[in-house]
Amino acid sequence: MCECQSVGNFFVCPTSFSDVFSHNYNMKYKFPHYFIEDPPCEEAKPEFDYGEFYYVCAECQQAWYFECYPETPTCPIFGIKIPDMSQVLSQNRINSIKQFLVVLAHEGFSENKCIHNGCMDYSLNGIKVCLNHFGYKFSPH
């Protein structure tokens, strides 16, 4: 059985998609809806491919945006539920979800400011840079 309906509206597999973490992987136990070991969907249409992003689960018909592991055989390591296959997510939509996962993965922010010159944003907990300097920043186009 797939687990599309029991996971959150988006997820990341921490062991394969480490980009949202710094080095502390313990947060994955605190947010089990978002950080999951195995992808919720094992079979989809089309077949999983690193170059494909839009899928429908073969079991429950849930439509997904997936980013797949860059090796064959591949499987989804990051996903966002979409209402149907006609939806195309903007890069900013994808980035905003990744930034949310970055905040969870660090359990928020420290009381210190970002190390980058002139940046007045809080650094993420445990590291010296803020969310936007970590990555997945809003892009105006």
Nearer Cβ to Zn ion, position 25 or 47? 47
Binding mask 121-140 for Zn ion (x = CB under 5 A): x--------x--x-------
At which residue do the structure tokens 């919720």 appear?
40
Interface stretch with Zn ion, choices 36-44, 48-56, 69-77, 102-110 (CB under 5 A):
36-44
State the nearest-atom distance from the C-beta of 95 to Zn ion, in Å.
Answer: 16
Interaction with Zn ion in 54-113: which residues (CB under 5 A)? 57, 59-60, 62
Burial class (CB in 10 A: 0-12, 13-18, 19+), 20: buried
CA angle centred on 31, ends 134 and 96, rounded to 5°: 40
Report phi then psi at 100, rounded to 5: -60, -45
Contact call for residue 114 and Zn ion (CB under 5 A): yes
Report which of 1, 6, 12, 4 is spatially closest to residue 104, judged by C-alpha positions: 12
Residue count at the site for Zn ion (CB under 5 A)? 13
State the nearest-atom distance from the C-beta of 100 to Zn ion, in Å.
Answer: 17
Q: What are the residues binding Zn ion (CB under 5 A)? A: 2, 4, 41, 57, 59-60, 62, 114, 116, 119, 121, 130, 133
